[in-house]
Amino acid sequence: MSSLSTPEKATPINSYSRSDWQQGYLSQPQEFDYPITEITGTIPPELQGTLFRNGPGLLDINGQNIHHPFDGDGMITALSIKDGKAHLKSRYVQTAGYVAEKAAGKILHRGVFGTQKAGGWLANIFDFQLKNIANTNIIYWGDRLLALWEAAQPHRLNPQTLETLGLDDLNGVLAPGAAFAAHPRIVDDRLINFAVSPGLSSKITIYEFDRAGKLLQKQNHSVPGFSFIHDFVVTENYYLFFQNPVTFNPLPFVLGMRGAGECVGFDASKPTKILVIPRKETQPENSSTTPALFSLETRAGFVFHHANAWEAGGKIYVDSICYESFPDVEPGSDFREIDFASLDPGQLWRFCLDLETGVVDRTLLEPRCCEFPTTNPQNVGKPYRYLYMGAGMQPTGNAPLQQILKLDLTTDTRQFWNAGDRCFVSEPVFVPHPQATAEDQGWVLSVVYDASRHRSDVVILDAQDFSNPVAKLHLQHHIPYGLHGSWVDRNF
Ligand code: CO
């Protein structure tokens, strides 16, 4: 069970066992619908709404292992909290691939990250039909609940039942098969998201929608070079993309020997490019004049996730989790056998962009291994003080995430909630208190996998005081490690 401890306390170098960690990547084929009755502590009555989570639910198809968790079918969990009570529902997104593979009882599609149909390269050669697995994020916007996967259209779900309604084109904005990233940003009541079509040059499309889901503006850009862009940031006047220094050799993919994601290589000799694109909100819709894009350079590094960005004193600041190198997806290797210590940790860096001089300065803010950065949603794109992340137990080195870290960026002080040696945390989600008068007044929610019970808990922390969880909701089952999700101030 979880225990409270300070990170300075002496812990063994490996505060986890890999077999414990592996159990959290066992498939969860079952779907659930039940009121949560096992609760430690008290759910705050002011906390009302729904936590939606998405992530791979199946790590094997009928015993045939998938090659990488990013290839796993999306399973949605909805935790509805009202009047101090909680109800859990989980369902698979009924993607065409999920439905077909469930019926066939075997892998029918290649995955981007190396999952192959049985039969070796002969069975996979020239098969470019990738499965839209809808497993990366879930948002509620414009009265639509949407499961996102960055390489294809979102799937729309019924928010009451989580039933899959089909592919969604966002009121005709997305063409059939169009990509739509899994990392939208909500800034000043606008949903802003992008899509990347990778190739020898990469096409980037950026969308801004109003609260009702109506498209306000759209931009298209073409940038030289292959891109692997998972996330972006938005400030008052700019969109910012980090073009990681990667190369792409499509041959092994075309020949059926590797997944497309396994053909991406990291080139540390090249800089990371930071693409700065003016938002130009005054630009009339459908204008043919596309705002100029300019790019700055910084030292090679790999970024999956940004924490936040804002403008101050003529400069742009971007806080991001940056890896020294891209963790390769090796063909033939099994992610379950990962040697954490051999990989670079994700660390929090602050990039300061001087648009006058083109100089980018970078500062390490948090050397501890961390991922899944979250802020108060009201501070997205603006100056902010508090950041919440999943973090490793040790101050250095790469490791699974077993703590929630609250970083006060003004005072450079930290609070930790330690989930316990046999527990692993997921992305923290910050929920503001309805009458909040301070940035950190609210709660931090995270799904925690407990290997000692092979079950998951949802922990609710008081964001101002991590010393003891306000409540722990004990689920009747485990949820495989998830990716992203969001909080909606509504019960459905
Ligand atoms: Co992500």
| Residue 142 confidence (pLDDT) | 95
Classify the C-alpha dihedral 421-423-426-428 as positive or negative.
negative
Whose structure tokens read 């860096």? 349
Number of Cβ within a 10 Å radius of residue 423: 26
pLDDT band at 327 (very low <50, low <70, confident <90, very high): low
| Residue 111 confidence (pLDDT) | 80
Look at 132 and 121; give whichever has higher pLDDT: 132
- What is the Å distance from ligand 1's center to 427 Cα? 10
Tens of pLDDT, residue by residue over 37-54, are 999 999 999 999 999 999
- What is the Å distance from ligand 1's center to 70 Cα? 10
- What is the Å distance from ligand 1's center to 119 Cα? 31
Mean pLDDT of 200-215: 95
| Count of domains forming the chain | 1
Please answer whether residues 488 and 475 qualify as being in contact, where contact means their C-beta atoms are separated by less than 8 angstroms: no
| Residue 8 confidence (pLDDT) | 46
In a domain, 389, yes or no: yes
What are the tokens at 302?
């790999």
Mean pLDDT of 312-324: 96
Residue 156 main-chain phi, psi, to 5 deg: -95, 140
In a domain, 56, yes or no: yes
In a domain, 385, yes or no: yes
| Residue 366 confidence (pLDDT) | 98
pLDDT band at 420 (very low <50, low <70, confident <90, very high): very high
- What is the Å distance from ligand 1's center to 117 Cα? 26
Whole-number Å distance between alpha carbons of 486 and 431: 9
Tens of pLDDT, residue by residue over 243-270, are 998 887 777 766 667 777 777 788 888 9
In a domain, 194, yes or no: yes
In a domain, 94, yes or no: yes
Cα-atom radius of gyration of the chain, to the nearest Å? 21
| Residue 35 confidence (pLDDT) | 98
* Nearest to 162, CA basis, from 46, 275, 50: 50
pLDDT band at 121 (very low <50, low <70, confident <90, very high): low
pLDDT band at 215 (very low <50, low <70, confident <90, very high): very high
- What is the Å distance from ligand 1's center to 455 Cα? 24
Tens of pLDDT, residue by residue over 349-378, are 999 999 999 999 999 999 999 999 999 999
What are the tokens at 40?
């430690």
In a domain, 111, yes or no: yes
Give pTM, 2 decimals: 0.92
Whether the pLDDT of residue 440 is over 50: the answer is: yes
- What is the Å distance from ligand 1's center to 104 Cα? 30
- What one-character-per-residue DSSP string does 401-433 give? --EEEEEETTTTEEEEEE--TTEEE---EEEE-
The one-letter amino acid at 413: T
Whether the pLDDT of residue 55 is over 90: the answer is: yes
- What is the Å distance from ligand 1's center to 307 Cα? 11
In a domain, 361, yes or no: yes
- What is the Å distance from ligand 1's center to 230 Cα? 6
- What is the Å distance from ligand 1's center to 172 Cα? 25
- What is the Å distance from ligand 1's center to 371 Cα? 10
- What is the Å distance from ligand 1's center to 304 Cα? 6
Q: Residue 102: which residues within 8 A CB-CB, separation 6 or more?
A: none
pLDDT band at 399 (very low <50, low <70, confident <90, very high): very high
Whole-number Å distance between alpha carbons of 203 and 467: 47
- What is the Å distance from ligand 1's center to 149 Cα? 10
Whole-number Å distance between alpha carbons of 187 and 384: 13
- What is the Å distance from ligand 1's center to 160 Cα? 25
- What is the Å distance from ligand 1's center to 306 Cα? 9
**What is the residue-averaged pLDDT of the chain?**
91
| Residue 126 confidence (pLDDT) | 60
Boundaries of domain holding 65:
21-488
- What is the Å distance from ligand 1's center to 370 Cα? 13
Q: Provide the phi-psi class of 397: left if phi over 0, else alpha when psi is between -120 and 50, else beta.
A: left
Q: Provide the phi-psi class of 445: left if phi over 0, else alpha when psi is between -120 and 50, else beta.
A: beta
Number of Cβ within a 10 Å radius of residue 287: 12
Whether the pLDDT of residue 11 is over 50: the answer is: no
* Nearest to 249, CA basis, from 259, 239, 264: 264
Tens of pLDDT, residue by residue over 145-196, are 999 999 999 999 999 999 999 999 999 999 998 999 999 999 999 999 999 9
| Residue 4 confidence (pLDDT) | 43
- What is the Å distance from ligand 1's center to 49 Cα? 23
Q: Out of 84-88, 198-202, 400-404, pick the least confident.
A: 198-202
In a domain, 287, yes or no: yes
pLDDT band at 341 (very low <50, low <70, confident <90, very high): confident
